[in-house]
């Protein structure tokens, strides 16, 4: 029995597009900024000959991410019954762990990512082409794996709908366009503000995936308390209404969460948002992510 069949309502198309589009925009822009920094550094260093190795590394990373998503997604879709719930629950929890680690890491790394990438590229140019390829591969692949795992957890809650994938691709396209415009100097974005607010949104989405994963594992018999609701507001909460589909699709709020599910959801939001939003000490290595237009 799937979680949707257990009483949840499939999110609306607009909600699915918004949730996955946010993931694609945020993660796509992170990866785009990495590529932009590497390309701008090579152009300014008059090492355009190394650009082909950067693009080869990026292409390899994209292929690896796509394969990872397809293997995990179709692997879980071939299961049914209790096995499907357990697999979906485990995939959701793994996605939450990785996304949380990456969001918290980006909170600090964003201040020095430009300097770190330039330093890494200087060393890679000395070593040779394969070092340049590896630097681009791992820098982009890290962001891509986060996206793939987050999308697996998100897609599990949409009853096999294709709209989350469409929303993800649209978000990535928008991120690519914004990255190109930034590279050309046509627009400037306050990246600190962007990553702050999109980071908060991702934490909220991850909390919903965590709640889904806990409920799935309860239905699968791995975790206890499947029949212990924390509360039930089904009488006044219409899961099929516009607000019900929004809250159910993005926040994964149910009218009858279990005690463990609601506790995990609330605790995650409080703890991770506190860690993410708490003030951080300024770093001497801080450099703006925004790169000037290439010449």
Residue 13 is predicted with a pLDDT of: 62
Range in 38-42, 61-65, 155-159, 202-206 with the lowest mean pLDDT: 155-159
Beta-ladder partners of 229:
258
Instruction: Pick the closest to residue 103 from 288, 282, 268 (CA basis).
Output: 268
Is residue 34 within 8 Å of residue 138, measured between CB atoms?
Answer: no
Of residues 34 and 191, more confidently modeled: 34
Confidence of residue 12 (pLDDT cuts 50, 70, 90): low
By the 10 Å C-beta count (0-12 exposed, 13-18 middle, 19+ buried), 219 is classed as buried
By the 10 Å C-beta count (0-12 exposed, 13-18 middle, 19+ buried), 251 is classed as middle
Rounded Cα gap, residues 176 and 158, in angstroms: 26
Of residues 100 and 3, more confidently modeled: 100
Instruction: Pick the closest to residue 39 from 26, 23, 52 (CA basis).
Output: 52
| Residue pLDDT, tens place only, 265-288 | 999 999 999 999 988 765 554 444
Residue 56 is predicted with a pLDDT of: 94
| Residue pLDDT, tens place only, 217-263 | 999 899 999 889 898 887 787 766 666 666 666 666 678 889 999 99
Tokens of 51: 């650009």
Rounded Cα gap, residues 87 and 1, in angstroms: 13
Give the Cβ contact number of residue 245 at 10 Å: 20
Rounded Cα gap, residues 103 and 139, in angstroms: 15
Enter the pTM of the model: 0.71
Rounded Cα gap, residues 295 and 287, in angstroms: 20
Task: Let me know the angle formed at the C-alpha of 103 by 267 and 132, rounded to the nearest 5 degrees.
Answer: 155
Give the Cβ contact number of residue 216 at 10 Å: 28
Helices (H), the chain: 13-44, 51-77, 81-109, 113-127, 129-155, 163-184, 191-219, 242-246, 259-277
**pLDDT more than 90, % of the chain:** 15
Tokens of 37: 């920094």
Residue 57 is predicted with a pLDDT of: 92
Given a cut of 50, whether residue 154 has pLDDT beyond it is: yes
Task: Let me know the angle formed at the C-alpha of 57 by 54 and 58, rounded to the nearest 5 degrees.
Answer: 85
Average confidence (pLDDT) over 191-196: 77
Write the DSSP string, 86-121: HHHHHHHHHHHHHHHHHHHHHHHHTTTHHHHHHHHH
């Amino acid at each position: 029995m799937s979680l949707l069949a257990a009483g949840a309502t499939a999110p609306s198309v607009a909600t699915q597009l918004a949730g996955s589009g946010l993931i694609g925009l945020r993660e796509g822009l992170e990866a785009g900024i990495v590529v932009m920094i590497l390309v701008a550094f090579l152009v300014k260093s008059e090492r355009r000959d190394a650009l082909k190795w950067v693009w080869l590394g990026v292409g390899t990373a994209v292929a690896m991410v796509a394969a990872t998503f397809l293997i995990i997604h179709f692997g879980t879709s071939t299961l049914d019954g209790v096995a499907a719930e357990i697999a979906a629950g485990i995939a959701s929890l793994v996605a939450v762990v990785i996304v949380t680690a990456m969001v918290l890491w980006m909170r600090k790394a964003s201040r020095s990512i430009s300097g770190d990438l330039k330093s890494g590229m200087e060393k890679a140019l000395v070593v040779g082409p394969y070092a340049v390829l590896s630097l681009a591969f791992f820098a982009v692949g890290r962001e891509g794996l986060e996206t793939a795992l987050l999308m697996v957890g998100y897609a599990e809650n949409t009853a096999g709908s294709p709209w989350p994938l469409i929303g993800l691709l649209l978000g990535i396209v928008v991120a690519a366009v914004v990255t190109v415009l930034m590279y050309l100097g046509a627009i400037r974005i306050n990246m600190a503000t962007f990553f702050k607010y999109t980071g908060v949104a991702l934490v909220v989405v991850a909390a919903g995936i965590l709640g889904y994963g806990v409920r799935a594992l309860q239905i699968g018999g791995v975790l206890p308390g499947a029949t212990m609701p924390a509360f039930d507001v089904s009488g006044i909460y219409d899961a099929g209404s516009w607000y019900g589909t929004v809250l159910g699709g993005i926040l994964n709020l149910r009218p009858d969460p279990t005690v463990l599910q609601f506790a995990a959801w609330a605790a995650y939001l409080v703890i991770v948002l506190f860690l993410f939003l708490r003030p951080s000490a300024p770093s001497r290595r801080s450099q703006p992510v925004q790169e000037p237009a290439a010449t």
